[in-house]
Structure 1
Amino acid sequence: MTRLRWPALAGLVLIALGAAPSTHPAAADAPAPGSFATLVDEYYAALFAWDPNQATYAGIHDYDDKLADLSEANYTRRAATLRKQHERLRDLRTGKLTEAEAIDGEALDHAIRAELLEIESVRDWKRNPVIYLGKPAEAIDLLMKRSFAPPADRLKAVIGRLRAAPPVLAAMKANVGAPPKEFADLGVIVAKGSVGFFRTDLPAWAKSAAGKDEKLLAEFTAANAAVIDSFESAVRWLDKDLLPKANGKYAIGAKAFMKKLEAEEMLDIPLDKLLAIGEANLKRDQEAFVATARKIDPKRTPAEVLATLNEDHPKPEDLVGATRGTIERTRKFLIDKKIVTLPSEVRPTIAETPAFMRTGGFASMDTPGAYETKATEAFYYVTPPEKEWEARRKNEHMRQFNRTGMDIITIHEAFPGHYLQFLYAKQYPTKVRKLYFCGTNAEGWAHYAEQMAVEEGYGDGDPKVRLAQLNEALLRDCRYVVGIKLHTEGWTVEQGKRFFVEQGYIEPETAFQEARRGTYNPTYLYYTLGKLQIYKLRGDVQKAKGAAFNLQAFHDQFVRQGALPIKLIRRIMLPGDTGPTL
Structure 2
Amino acid sequence: MRSLRLLSLSVCVVAALAAGCKSETATPAAGADTAPAAAKPAGAEWNAAVDGFLSGFFEHFPTWGANAGKHEFDGRLPDFSAEGLQRNIQWLHQQRDAINAFGDERLDAGQRYQRDYVRAVIDGQLFWLEESGFSSKNPAFYAGDLSPSMYLTRPYAPLPQRMAAFVTYQENLPKAVAQIRANLKGPFPETYIQLGTAVFGGLAQFFDADVPKIFAEVKDDALQARFKQSNAAASAAMRELAEHMASQKAQATQDFALGADKFAKMLKATEGVDLPLDQLKAAGEADLERNLAALKSACEQYAKGKSLNDCITQVNDDKPVGGAVEGARAQLVGLRQFLVDKDLVTIPGTEQAKVEEAPPFNRNNFAYIEIPGPYEKNLPSVYYIAPPDPKWPKAEQDAYVPGKADLLFTSAHEVWPGHFLQFLHANRSQWKFAQLFVGYAYAEGWAHYTEEMMFDAGLDGATPEIHIGQLTNALLRNVRYLSAIGLHTGGMTVAQSEQMFKDKAFQDPGNARQQAARGTYDPAYLNYTLGKLMIMQLREDWTATRGGRSAWKGFHDQFLSYGGPPIPLLRGQMLGGPAETKLWQAPKPAAAAPAADAAAPASAKPAAAGATN
Aligned to 1:321: 326
- Is structure 2 residue 148 aligned with structure 1 residue 146? no
Task: Give the Cα–Cα distance (whole angstroms) in 2 for the partners of residues 250 and 436 of structure 1.
Answer: 28
- The alpha carbon displacement at 1:11 in A equals 7.9
Residues 295 and 248 (structure 1), Cα distance of their counterparts in 2 relative to 1, 3 Å cut: closer
Match of 1:367 among 358, 366, 371: 371
Residue 239 of structure 1, aligned match among 226, 234, 246: 246
SS at match of 1:475: helix
Q: CA deviation at 1:313?
A: 2.0
1-side partners of 2:244 and 2:291: how far apart? 45
Unaligned runs of 5+ in 2: 22-36, 584-613
1:366 offset after TM fit, Å? 0.9
How do 1:328-407 and structure 2 match up within 5 A? Answer: 328-359=333-364, 361-374=365-378, 376-398=379-401, 401-407=402-408
Tell which deviates more after alignment, 478-487 or 47-56.
47-56
Looking at structure 2, the residues matched to 53 and 366 of structure 1 have their Cα atoms a distance apart, in angstroms, of 15
The structural deviation recorded for 1:112 is 1.4
Partner of 1:38: 48
In structure 2, distance between residues paired with 1:389 and 1:229: 26
**In 2: Cα distance, 1:84 partner to 1:449 partner:** 38
CA distance, structure 2, for counterparts of residue 422 and residue 405 of structure 1? 23
1:93 aligns with 2:112: no
Note the aligned Cα RMSD (angstroms): 2.5
Query: CA–CA distance in 2 between the matches of 1:50 and 1:288?
Result: 48
User: What pairs up with 1:13-52 in 2 under 5 angstroms?
Assistant: 17=17, 35-52=45-62
Match of 2:493 in 1: 492
Offset of 1:62 from its aligned partner?
Answer: 1.4
Aligned pair in 2 of structure 1 residues 453, 10: CA closer, same or farther (>3 Å)?
A: farther
Q: Deviations over 1:13-56 (max 9, x none)?
A: 597648999xxxxxxx9x99982222222222222222222112
Could you say what secondary structure the match of 1:92 adopts? coil
- Of stretches 378-387 and 41-50 in structure 1, the one that deviates more from structure 2 is 41-50
Name the structure 1 match of 2:69. Answer: 59
1:295 to 293, 298, 301: 301
Superposition deviation, residue 306 in structure 1: 0.9
**Residues 119-518 of structure 1 mapped to structure 2, 5 A cutoff:** 119-132=129-142, 135-136=145-146, 138=147, 140-178=148-186, 179-208=188-217, 210-211=218-219, 213-240=220-247, 242-247=248-253, 249-314=255-320, 318-359=323-364, 361-374=365-378, 376-398=379-401, 401-518=402-519
Q: Per-residue CA shift, 1:136-155, capped at 9, x if unaligned? A: 3x1x3212222222222222
1:503, distance to aligned residue in structure 2 (A)? 1.9
Q: Secondary structure at the residue paired with 1:356?
A: coil
SS in 1 for 2:368: strand
Task: Tell me the TM-score normalized by structure 1.
Answer: 0.91
Deviation of the 1:396 alpha carbon: 2.6
Whether the aligned pair in 1 keeps the contact of 2:18 and 2:423 (CA below 8 Å) is no
Contact residue 93 and residue 105 of structure 1 kept, 8 A: no
Equivalents in 2 of 1:301, 1:172: separation in Å? Answer: 48
C-alpha displacement at 1:450, in angstroms? 0.5
Rate the CA distance shift 1:548–1:124 in 2: closer, same or farther, 3 A. Answer: closer
Equivalent residue number for residue 25 of structure 1: none
Contact (CA 8 Å) 2:79, 2:176: kept in 1 or not?
Answer: yes
Amino acid at match of 1:345: T
1:509 is displaced (CA, Å) by 2.1
**Aligned equivalents of 1:266 and 1:19: distance in 2?**
27
- Farther-moved stretch of structure 1 (35-44 vs 380-389): 35-44
The CA distance in 2 between the partners of 1:472 and 1:373, in whole Å, is 33
Q: Is the 8 A contact 1:11 1:523 kept in 2?
A: no
Question: What amino acid is the match of 2:201?
Answer: K
Match of residue 24 from structure 2: none
After superposition, residues 533-548 of structure 1 pair within 5 angstroms as 533-546=534-547
Secondary structure (helix, strand or coil) at the match of 1:465 reads helix
> Aligned letter for 2:251?
K
More helix by share: 1
Equivalenced residue count is 564
Quick one: distance in 2 between partners of 1:135 and 1:82? 19
1:358-382 per-residue CA deviation (whole Å, 9 max, x = no partner) reads 12x11111111122125x1101010
Letter in 2 for 1:115: Q
Residues 69 and 281 of structure 1, relative CA distance in 2, 3 Å threshold: same
Q: Which residue of 2 aligns with 1:117?
A: 127
TM-score norm. by structure 2 comes to 0.87
8 Å CA contact 2:96–2:119 kept in 1: the answer is yes
Contact map agreement 1:50 1:78 (CA 8 A) in 2: yes
- Residue 32 and residue 74 in structure 1: after superposition, are their counterparts in 2 closer, same or farther (change >3 A)? farther
The amino acid across from 2:2 in the alignment is T
* Residue of structure 2 aligned with 1:78, choices 84, 88, 94: 88
2:75–2:167: 8 Å Cα contact kept in structure 1? yes
Q: In structure 2, how many angstroms separate the alpha carbons of the residues matched to 1:235 and 1:2?
A: 23
**Aligned mates of 1:282, 1:393 — CA distance in 2:** 25
Alpha-carbon offset, residue 281 of structure 1: 0.9
